Chain A
Amino acid sequence: MGFGRYVTARVLWAAVVSLIIVTVTFLLLAAAPNPAVQRAATQAALQGGDPAAAAERVRELRGLNQPLHVRYLDYIQSVYTLDWGWSQSRSQPVMEAVTQALYYTVQYSVPWTILTIILGPLVGVYSAANMYSWKDHAATAFAFFGYAIPNFFFGIILLLVFGVWLEVIPIVYDTGVPVFSVENAIQLAVPVFVLVTGSIGAVMRVSRNESAEFQNADFMKTAKAKGVSPLRAYAYHVMRPTLVPLSTTLVGQLLALFIGSSLLVEVVFGIPGLGRLTYEALLAQDTNLVLGTTLFFTFVAVIGNLLEDIVFTVLDPRISYDDR
């Protein structure tokens, strides 16, 4: 099988996977009682009307009395044309709810991801270069501290210190400020810091241990003997092989660049992002919105997997697509 055929097959497979998921959600929904019908029936009963007739009216109104296959085709059509219905708990279209939440999530998830994948390996290699010195211990302590302390707790503490005591950052997140403005940078600095310290630990530890292997490798000795500066030696000869095993994690993290969201951090800092959107939709039993957020993450995951598989075959010739 050639590369072109592999990609085609892989894309088709992704389409099939998404169709299966969409179908399963449809069947689950069709089997579950519809909240709108129940509401109407309860309302009718409370007002002394006929609950059965009221339920029937709503069913008719929403097209629920049509045969299953007609409803299925309707459903498939609206899913793939991005007409995801109305969010009852927010009084806006689901698509609008998702894009609005995404807008706020991206503002912190982009700097968070970029800083993590740049700083993580850097600190790791720095740590390895100074292994067992106080610098290594300090860096390790920093990594473990960030890893160990719960984000929401760390967030509240930092809010207390910088928001309430020092009053250098605002406590109520202001959705009205422009994305690229000093105010926005200030209000996002603490949430991003909390998230970076939370996620940098793992990357930093792996890269420290990986790079430790290469410190005394023959090519390092040669480099040093030639008089290569330590910075260049580490950047060129240690960092590169270190990044190979790390790349799996990093690619995964890059995929999460726009959708990696944190519910707890959003709650503490009052950011109306995707994490809160999904969580609140579940709590409010807002079927359309739950479906919308689920499908959104599903599609991103399917596309992400697709890209990952393709990129791997391009990057690493040892990964063959022949027997897959």
Chain B
Amino acid sequence: MVNPDGDQVEIDIYHSAGQETSQLTADFIAQELGQNLGINVVVEAIDGTRFNNEYWTADPQGGTDTVNGEEVEWESPAPTNPGPRSATSNEPWDMSIVFGLNTYPLNPLTNEVFFDGATPFYNPVGYYPQFDVQGLFEEARQASSRDELRESFVEIFENLAREQPYVTLLFSDDLVGYNPDLEGPTENFSNGWDLPAWYEGDESVSGSYDTVTSARFTTLNPLYNTENGAGTAIERALDPGYTFDENQEYFPLLYDMSTEDGEVWTFDVRENLQFSEPYGQVTAEDFVYLVQELHQSEWANTAASTSWDGVEVEQTGEFQFEATLESPNLLWPQTYDPLLYPIPRDLVEPYVEEEDVEGLEQDEELLELQFAGNLGAFELTEWNRGSGTEYTRNDEYYLRDIDEGPDLFSEGPLFEEASISVVQEQASRLGALETGEADSAAIPPEQYESYDEDENVDVLQVPTPYNTIISVNQRANGWNAGPGNLFQLVPFRQALAAAISKQDLIDGVYRGLAEPHFTWQPRWSEFYPGDE
């Protein structure tokens, strides 16, 4: 491929510095584009933060442009979508594999932030859709049945597959090593949802479930936690409102949610939930108070505050409350927005009266989950800030008395103790897994084979919705080979996608531990458009 002057086209691709897989992927892309399209690709390493600040985001400028034949105005420009294609970052760039994105298979509506016309919140590459994506998202929002919903989404994802706003490559799997005596782990996105039914050896209460993690927990206060790892540590001792089972379907823990039209949702709270003394039984009042006085307050800044914006909550019975949304959403539970932790009203009331954020953040009962009563599989016995958490079995766990779920819930949890140890060094985490000191740990892809052969470790490939994509810069400072910007042309992006063999990439760089990615959903998603 040559430019009008007759020189070979040369463009650059950025990958994350210091990450072997990222570099190998970039090298592979360069090789494929060189061989199949005759483009000379220069591979550059860059630090993720620097790439984000100088290349990926820009000062919001706003402006107008013609998109798909219509005049469009950027009303609320953001750093990740600063304006039309003429609004650019500081540094020019062509292609990048530094960032991947979530495809939100449970709640595809969230993908609006990437693709809602030309002016979504997140559009660093300057993609202008050439189909009526806004109309289709609107249709999905208005859908009154699962089938209608599916129809709209399938159309969206088929169009995205054709237009390749980002050149899709693959979905990588999480590799998790487990103690082979452990019964329960599955190669499923919802792996771990039924932990109370897991056991070691035979189906009796024994032993300890010990895991290791790389990151310390900032807080275990359920009102303020925003970290995944700490969320796991909290949920060992305190169940959230609901979860999703192995079929990705709603499973009620503390409350069941139901709706007719997606606008008014009824929450039915279980009647066998107890806080620790002196807080007594969990009722609808606790949840309503939590939402109205904390999540929806001006002062508390809880982690869930954005989730409850514009939602009207009303108590309708001792164990029932209703939430009315501004606009209907059949997939509301899938957004995790209505996911609540139970917090006793009497515990937080003094802070609410004083509007005391610091007091609420630093409350020891909240930080140490001392109010959890029968609401968790285990009781938190110690949180050592440096080294992790320790738990003992909760003999009163409410889940034993419910009708839904696996039979073993009636005995759960099937461990006497549990712990999560913070071990920063990867080699130490893996060593602990090998010797059986830890029952579970993440395995780095480059060591997959050696652990797969190890009889002391079972390695599971757990699928994820996180993709690896080539972002191609369709803004004015992309396609530095000039003139114009070929990345703006759909056929050219299709050519890029076709020039790279996804399967070779998966086999060669990812050791087969990934799934090819054609449209904006993984194959296991309910909304995957099919292979036609």
**Is B220 touching A91 in the complex (CB atoms < 8 A)?**
yes
Judging by beta carbons under 8 Å apart, are B428 and A159 in contact?
A: yes
Q: Which of A7-15, A21-29, A168-176, A209-217 contacts B (4 or more CB under 8 A)?
A: A168-176
Instruction: Tell whether A86 pairs with B362 under 8 Å between CB atoms, given A163-B435, A172-B423, A270-B425.
Output: yes
Q: Enumerate chain A residues within 8 angstroms of B210, measured Cβ to Cβ.
A: 172
B422: chain A residues at CB < 8 Å are: 270, 272
Q: Does B36 contact A (CB under 8 A)?
A: no
The answer to the question of A34 belonging to the interface, with a C-beta cut-off of 8 Å to chain B, is no
| Closest residue on chain B to residue A277 by CB atoms | B386
Please determine whether B298 and A90 come into contact, CB atoms closer than 8 angstroms.
no
Question: Do A272 and B434 form a contact, CB below 8 Å, given A40-B301, A86-B358, A91-B218?
Answer: no
- CB closest chain-A residue, reference B367: A91
Question: Cβ of B67 < 8 Å from any Cβ of A?
Answer: no
**Given A47-B306, A91-B219, A172 and B212 contact (CB-CB distance below 8 Å):** yes
- Asked if B424 contacts A92 (CB within 8 A), the reply is no
- Partner of A91 from B385, B424, B432 at Cβ < 8 Å: B385
Are A272 and B386 in contact, CB atoms less than 8 angstroms apart? yes
Given known contacts A47-B309, A91-B362, A280-B216, A267 and B387 CB-to-CB distance under 8 angstroms: no
B25 at the binding interface (Cβ < 8 Å): no
Contact of A61 among B357, B361, B423 (CB under 8 A): B357
Assess whether A175 is in contact with B437, with CB atoms less than 8 Å apart.
no
**Interchain nearest-CB distance for B362 vs A (Å):** 6
- Does A287 belong to the interface (CB within 8 Å)? no
B386 close to A89 (CB less than 8 A) = no
Given contacts A89-B218, A172-B437, contact A270 B385 (CB under 8 A): no
Residues of B within 8 A of A91 (CB): 218-221, 361-362, 367, 385
Question: CB < 8 Å: which of B382, B385, B434 contacts A92?
Answer: B385
Shortest beta-carbon distance from A48 to chain B in Å: 8
The answer, yes or no, to whether A269 is at the interface (CB within 8 Å) is: yes
Residues 30-88 of A contacting B (Cβ, < 8 Å): 39-40, 43, 46-47, 49, 57, 61, 86, 88
Contact A175 B386 (CB under 8 A): yes
In the bound complex, what is the Cα–Cα distance between A301 and B386 (angstroms)? 25
Interface of B is mostly: mixed
Most chain B C-beta atoms within 10 Å of own C-beta, residue among A86, A91, A273: A91
Q: Is B515 in the interface zone, CB < 8 Å from A? A: no
Min CB distance, B390 to chain A, in Å? 7
- Contact call B390/A176, Cβ cutoff below 8 A: yes
B431 within 8 A of A: yes
For the complex, give the distance between the alpha carbons of A288 and B505 in Å: 47
Interface positions of B from 370 to 394, Cβ below 8 Å from A:
382, 384-387, 390
Query: Which residues of the other chain, A, contact B387 by a CB distance below 8 angstroms?
Result: 173, 175, 270, 272
**Which bracket fits the contact residues of B?**
35 or more
Q: In the complex, what residues of A have CB within 8 A of residue B306's CB?
A: 46-47
Given contacts A167-B435, A172-B437, contact A267 B386 (CB under 8 A): no
How far does the alpha carbon of A276 sit from the alpha carbon of B431 in the complex, in Å? 21
Nearest A residue to B426 via CB reads: A156
Contacts of A294 in B (CB 8 A): none
Q: Is A320 an interface residue (CB 8 A)?
A: no
Residues of B within 8 A of A43 (CB): 301, 305
B435 surroundings in chain A (CB, below 8 A): 163-164, 167, 171
Tell me the chain B residues, 149-196 only, with Cβ under 8 Å from chain A.
none
The listed residue with most B CB atoms (<10 A of its CB), out of A40, A89, A164, is A164
Q: Known A104-B386, A163-B431, A171-B437; judge A270-B357 contact (CB<8 A).
A: no
Contacts of B216 in A (CB 8 A): 89-90, 280
A114 close to B (CB within 8 Å): no
Determine the chain B residues whose CB is within 8 A of the CB of A39 once the complex forms. Answer: 301
> Is A172's CB under 8 angstroms from B438's CB?
yes
Of chain A, the residue at the smallest CB distance from B230 is A91
Q: Which of A46, A172, A175 contacts B428 (CB 8 A)?
A: A172
Residues of A within 8 A of B385 (CB): 90-92, 97, 100, 272
B437 pairs with A170, CB closer than 8 A? yes
CA of A171 to CA of B427, assembled, Å: 10
23 A-B pairs (CB sep. < 8 Å):
A47-B306, A88-B218, A90-B218, A90-B385, A91-B220, A91-B221, A91-B361, A92-B385, A101-B386, A156-B427, A159-B428, A159-B431, A163-B431, A164-B435, A171-B432, A172-B210, A172-B421, A172-B438, A173-B387, A175-B386, A267-B425, A268-B425, A280-B216
Interface residues of A, Cβ cutoff 8 Å to B: 39-40, 43, 46-47, 49, 57, 61, 86, 88-92, 97, 100-101, 104, 156, 159-160, 163-164, 167, 170-173, 175-176, 267-270, 272-273, 276-277, 280, 284
Q: A159-B428, A171-B428, A277-B386 are in contact. List 14 more A-B contacts (CB 8 A).
A: A46-B306, A47-B305, A49-B298, A89-B216, A89-B218, A91-B385, A92-B385, A104-B386, A164-B435, A171-B423, A175-B384, A176-B382, A269-B428, A270-B428
Closest 3 CB pairs of A and B: A272-B386, A91-B219, A171-B432
